[in-house]
Amino acid sequence: MTEPTSHPAPRVAIIGGGPSGLMAAEVLASAGVRVDLYDAMPSVGRKFLLAGVGGMNITHSEAKEAFLARYGQRRAEIARLLAGFDADALRAWIHELGIDTFVGSSGRVFPADMKAAPLLRAWLKRMRELGVQLHTRQRWLGWTADGALRLATTEGEIAVSADATLLALGGGSWPRLGSDAAWVELLQARGIAIAPLQASNCGFEVAGWSPLLRDKFAGAPLKNVSLRLDDEAPRQGEFVLTANGVEGSLVYALSAPIRERINRHGSATLQLDLLPQSPLGKLQAALSKPRGSQSLAKHLHRQAGIDGVKAALLRELAPAECFNDPARLAAALKALPLTLVRARPLEEAISTAGGVPFEALDARLMLKQLPGLFCAGEMLDWEAPTGGYLLTACFASGRTAGLGILEWLQNRVD
Ligand SMILES: Cc1cc2nc3c(=O)[nH]c(=O)nc-3n(C[C@H](O)[C@H](O)[C@H](O)COP(=O)(O)OP(=O)(O)OC[C@H]3O[C@@H](n4cnc5c(N)ncnc54)[C@H](O)[C@@H]3O)c2cc1C
């Protein structure tokens, strides 16, 4: 009788300690796999922590169909990832870590104290208990000639072999937090076509504000306004005037279609409604009232509540003739043409569009051309607005990749 061959425990290398890499590490280590996780930074989860600074919006409570629609052209691919770990599963997982969640008035979901740090601390404690080996200050540089991973460490370069590797390297935004997109060239050199990385959830520039608007109103918020692009329904919210254009939640929500329009036509013109709650007819009637010796600025303030940055933007964008004609002035207030000419640089964006196309990956998120090499997180080619959709898909993709690696390790022919 021959002894069964005893295989050593498989070993998986994960490069990147953001939410997607950490989630894959948890899945694998829970199944008894030896996991070594490498990150270039002195600590993991830096972008995750930053996301918690203004209030960590980790997912959204809206109904499934509305939720999935947020992923636009990649709805079908992200739906497959979320089928294994959706917003409810994510909340249950957070609760298991001992952190409560709550639903805000907008339907957004937050951890109890709105911070990322307690959650990350509890998660890393669990990782240690599972035996995940975290190696920080270790930058992945590519592969050696015989296929080992090249890592730059504080003691010089090392080569590491693993049974399977997950790349969870993030996109190209906020590179000082670690995700510098150096992986793009490394994967391209291995024959993987990468969809160009572009800014998503980002600000946009105008051709140039007048010095008055720029110097006096950069940083001023425009509240209770709406923006409309082409025939889309107008979206209400707020944005901020910047020295060279606009940024803020309402602009971020429209960033994908604005960017695509600029890519195709060189610019995108939105209709800005400064008073979405006021019907045009009512506004016309109010502005048609005699103003006597009152200045137009005072008249606008009295009759329409327009002053400050809204009045300045009206002066900047409305045709000069409309200021003598109440009907045209009312129409301008309801539909100011705001022309945007370029996105702010990727480094400043909240997230990244483009990356490793799903077509290059199998259902387990393994690169079809490079068996044993998996990818997850923001480095994949998808985008979504803010609202917790980014993190939810990152967690779900990390989980899919972790389970995919397990399946691959079990089925591979030794
Ligand atoms: C200001 C800001 C606020 C945000 N707020 C929210 C929010 O409220 N809700 C939400 O859903 N999303 C938010 N996001 C987006 C969210 O944080 C990201 O989508 C998410 O962190 C991406 O996870 P990831 O694991 O794919 O990559 P990352 O979190 O970017 O992690 C990638 C990791 O890979 C490491 N790495 C990269 N290259 C190498 C290399 N060559 N060698 C070794 N290590 C490497 C990096 O150091 C990093 O730790 C926010 C983002 C920003 C910038």
Q: Which amino acid makes up residue 182?
A: A
Per-residue model confidence (pLDDT) at position 2 = 44
* Domain-embedded: residue 134: yes
In 3D space, the residue among 239, 160, 238 whose CA is nearest the CA of residue 203 turns out to be: 239
Residue in this structure with the two tokens 């090499």, named with its chain if needed = 373
Question: Which segment of 118-122, 229-233, 301-305 scores lowest on mean pLDDT?
Answer: 229-233
Pocket-forming residues, ligand 1, beta carbon under 6 Å = 15-21, 38-41, 44, 46-48, 50-51, 56-57, 139-140, 168-170, 173-174, 178-180, 182, 350-351, 377-378, 386, 388, 390-391, 394
Residues 45 and 179 in one domain: yes
Phi, psi of 142 (to 5 degrees): 130, -145
As a whole number of angstroms, the distance between CA 116 and CA 235 comes to: 29
Q: What is the pLDDT of residues 353-391, one digit of tens each?
A: 999 999 999 999 999 999 999 999 999 999 999 999 999
The overall average pLDDT reported for the chain is 95
- pLDDT above 80 for 1: no
In a domain, 297, yes or no: yes
pLDDT at 54: 82
Q: Which one-letter DSSP state was computed for residue 62?
A: S
Whether residues 361 and 311 share a domain: the answer is no
Kindly state whether residues 260 and 364 are assigned to the same domain: no
CA of 275 to the centre of ligand 1 (A): 37
19 alpha carbon to ligand 1 midpoint, in Å? 7
Cα separation, 243 vs 219, in Å, equals 8
- Is residue 112 included in any domain, yes or no? yes
Give the tokens for residue 319: 């045709």
Q: How far apart are CA 7 and CA 2, in angstroms?
A: 15
Does 21 share its domain with 159?
yes
- 6 — pLDDT class (breaks 50, 70, 90): low
Q: Indicate the range of 70-74, 322-326, 410-414 predicted with least confidence.
A: 410-414
349 CA: nearest ligand 1 atom: 53
Here the tokens at position 206 are 């105008």
4 in a structural domain: no
Quick one: 210 exposed, middle or buried, by C-beta within 10 A (0-12, 13-18, 19+)? Answer: exposed
Residues 164 and 262 grouped into a single domain: no
Q: Would you say residue 96 lies in a domain?
A: yes
Q: Is residue 193's pLDDT more than 80?
A: yes
182 and 100 within one domain: yes
One domain for residues 46 and 84: yes
- Round to whole Å and give the CA distance between 241 and 229: 18
The rounded distance, in Å, linking the Cα atoms of 207 and 244 is: 8
Cα 346 to averaged position of ligand 1 atoms, centre (Å): 13
356 lies in the same domain as 337: no
In this predicted model, what pLDDT tens digit does every residue of 241-290 receive, in sequence order? 999 999 999 999 999 999 999 999 999 999 999 999 999 999 999 999 99
| Statement: residue 414 has pLDDT above 80 | no
Choose the final residue of a domain: 343, 374, 403. Answer: 343
Structural domain includes residue 172? yes
Which residue owns the Cα nearest ligand 1 atom 31? Answer: 18
Q: Give the ligand 1 atom nearest the CA of 45.
A: 49
Per the domain annotation, does 3 fall within a domain?
no
Pair 121, 171 in one domain: yes
Rounded to 10°, the helix 19-30/389-411 angle is: 40
**Least-confidence region, from 4-13, 169-178, 226-235:** 4-13
Angle CA(284)–CA(290)–CA(293) in degrees, nearest 5? 130
* pLDDT(89) > 70: yes
Q: Which of 325, 343, 361 is the last residue of a domain?
A: 343
Domain count, the chain: 2
Which among 311, 343, 375 is the end of a domain? 343
Domain that holds residue 233: 204-343
Mutate to test the pocket of ligand 1, among 90, 109, 169, 174 (most ligand atoms within 8 A of CB): 169
- Give me ligand 1 centre to Cα 323, in Å: 48
Q: Could you identify the residue written with the tokens 């899919």?
A: 400
Q: What is the CATH number of the domain that holds 405?
A: 3.50.50.60
Choosing from 380, 391, 400 the residue with most ligand 1 atoms within 8 A of its CB, the one to mutate for a pocket test is: 391
266 and 322 in a single domain? The answer is yes
Q: To which H or E segment does residue 110 belong?
A: strand 108-111
Whether residues 18 and 162 share a domain: the answer is yes
Q: Are residues 194 and 214 in the same domain?
A: no
Which tens digits make up the pLDDT trace of 73-84?
A: 999 999 999 999
Asked, for residue 1, whether it belongs to a domain, the answer is no
Evaluate if residue 110 carries a pLDDT over 50: yes
